Amino acid sequence: MVGTASFVQKLGNSVKKVSESKSSSWWYNHHMRAASRAIFERIPLVDLVLEVRDARIPMSSGYEQLRYFPSSSRNIIILNKMDLANHSKTKEWMAYFKERNYIPYAINSHNKDSIKEFLNFLQARVRDIRRSTHSSETHTTTVMLVGIPNVGKSAFANSLHQIGRISAAEREVKTRHCESTARADKKHHQFKGTIDDILIDQSELAQYFLSILNFSDEYKKWAKISTTDDDEAALSLGASSGGSEFDKRENQIVNDHTQDFVVRAVRRALFHEISAFKGNLEDEKDMVQLIEAQFTALRKAFNVTSNPCGDTTGNGMVAAKLINLYRTGRLGHYTLDTLPRISES
Ligand SMILES: Nc1nc2c(ncn2[C@@H]2O[C@H](COP(=O)(O)OP(=O)(O)O)[C@@H](O)[C@H]2O)c(=O)[nH]1
Ligand SMILES: [Mg+2]
């Protein structure tokens, strides 16, 4: 992905600019500052720091305050939501962190086996620490869990708690769950829903996502999605429904974009537009043209015909639905942060 940078970055930067100007610091209030300070003071006192990050944005979801502490075997970087990230990119990020003396560990907080595996790993780390600090068996190991909003700290802590009970790790590891915050003024956080969507132009975000998707390999997996008769029936039902109560109800069902047949239609539409595209994706004008074609195709796939609230093209609605599907992982696995080149790191 060498030449892809310019356009994607340009879009990303403009998204970032909007988010910075509009989001200001509405959520980073004095409570947050106090919490941040409390965390900062405790970091040197705990035995282990588990920094939870989002595997899709391993860099931009970092917890700023940890930068003031040198990387060490005390710091474990949890790349959570690995199920949503690009698998091989996650491996590359793991290697990147290892090189810098961090201990990275990729997990899926919603998966029991993943959490069990992590607990075993954590127990081994705790034993190592005890050995190296010559602390007694009765010493309680303290672990601090930090991370910016929405990376999955609560989900992770809950899973550790549930599974820890049966694996007896809980006795050994007292997990201190610290809700923490940090300024999240980076563009990628918009994707994760950290900051309200209303703060940013949804279609700009959707364009950014499409530009990433168009450069990825994910859509290639959708080549074989064929239209079933049921899909056809459901889609035409949506297109033809009239004004009766029954029709309205039917229409509502069709308009639920999370249904499987809608997701299939969306994948098909995106795949079709990329395959039919003859232009050069490295060329900004061509990329814009492809994205426009995709928006048109998506209007049909999402059955967006009406234009509420002055959304004359329906693009806002299409964008909102598309971003929602991305967030829930239904449009494939993407890692949005790119590894820094050696010269930058
Ligand atoms: N797919 C997936 N979603 C996750 C994972 N961990 C957390 N989430 C979701 O991410 C969102 C934010 O998680 P939450 O625990 O509230 O984040 P917190 O703000 O850091 O406490 C929730 O919708 C979770 O269900 C994971 O490993 N995989
Ligand atoms: Mg939480």
* Spacing, Cα 198 to ligand 2 middle (Å): 21
The preferred substitution site among 109, 118, 325, 326 for testing ligand 1, maximizing ligand atoms within 8 Å of CB, is 109
What's the rounded Cα separation, in Å, for the pair 110 and 181?
22
Q: Is 256 left (phi over 0), alpha (psi -120 to 50) or beta?
A: beta
CA of 286 to the centre of ligand 1 (A): 36
Task: Name which of 188, 173, 223 is nearest 56 in CA terms.
Answer: 188
Tell whether 138 is covered by a domain: yes
Residues 202 and 282 in one domain: yes
pLDDT at position 236:
63
| 178 in the same domain as 197 | no
pTM: 0.75
Residue 229 in any domain: the answer is yes
Among 79, 86, 110, residue to substitute to test ligand 1 (most atoms within 8 Å of Cβ): 110
Structural domain contains residue 21: no
The secondary structure element, H or E, covering residue 49 is: strand 48-54
pLDDT (tens digit, 9 = 90+) per residue, 280-300? 988 889 999 999 999 999 999
Ligand 1 atom closest to residue 149's alpha carbon, by position in its atom list: 19
Nearest to 184 by CA among 54, 345, 70, 96: 54
Domain count for the chain, please give it: 2
Centroid of ligand 1 to alpha carbon of 49 (angstroms): 19
Residues 169 and 195 in one domain: no
**Are 320 and 207 in a shared domain?**
yes
Shared domain for 138 and 177, answered yes or no, is: yes
Domain identity same for 177 and 197: no
Which residues lie near ion ligand 2 (Cβ < 5 Å)? Answer: 154
Give the length of the chain.
Answer: 345
Q: 155 lies in a domain?
A: yes
123 and 215 part of one domain = no
Same domain, yes or no, for 169 and 48?
Answer: yes
Residue 91 shares a structural domain with residue 204: no
Q: Is residue 42 part of a domain?
A: yes
Between CA 222 and CA 226, with CA 224 as vertex, the angle to 5 degrees is 105
Contact assessment for residue 266 and residue 322, using Cβ atoms and an 8 Å cutoff: yes
Atom of ligand 1 nearest to the CA of 80: 27
Q: Where are the alpha helices (DSSP H) in the chain?
A: 5-23, 30-42, 87-99, 112-133, 153-167, 169-172, 188-192, 202-215, 229-240, 245-255, 260-276, 284-301, 315-327
- Shared-domain flag, residues 245 and 141: no
Q: Which domain holds residue 170?
A: 29-182
Same domain, 226 and 250: yes
Instruction: Out of 155, 182, 209, pick the residue that ends a domain.
Output: 182
Instruction: Tell the residue nearest (CA) to atom 9 of ligand 1.
Output: 152
Beta bridge mates, 77: 51, 104
| Cβ atoms within 10 Å of 6's Cβ, excluding its own | 11
What ligand is nearest to the CA atom of residue 83? 1
Residues contacting ligand 1 via CB (< 6 Å):
80-81, 83-84, 108-110, 147, 149-155, 329
Q: Which residues pair with 106 in a beta bridge?
A: 79
In a domain, 10, yes or no: no
Angle, CA 195 vertex, CA 191 and CA 201 arms, to 5° = 65
Provide CB contacts within 8 A for 309, sequence distance 6+. Answer: none
Is 4 a member of any domain? Answer: no
Instruction: State which of 128, 148, 182 marks the end of a domain.
Output: 182
pLDDT tens-digit readout, 85-140: 999 999 999 999 999 889 999 999 999 999 999 999 998 988 888 888 887 777 77
Asked if residues 97 and 77 have their Cβ atoms less than 8 Å apart, the reply is yes
CB 169 within 8 A of CB 119: yes
Considering the domain architecture, whether residues 113 and 201 belong to the same structural domain is answered as no
Q: Which of 52, 56, 86, 150 for mutating ligand 1's site (highest number of atoms within 8 Å of CB)? A: 150
Which of 182, 208, 226 is the last residue before a domain boundary? 182
Low-confidence ranges of the chain (pLDDT < 50): 1-3, 22-25, 166-188, 190, 192-199, 345
The 10 Å CB-count burial string (b at 16+, else e) for 251-289 is beebbebeeebbbbbbbbbbbbbbeebeeebeeeeebee
Look up the CATH number of the domain holding residue 111.
3.40.50.300
Is residue 18 situated within a structural domain? no
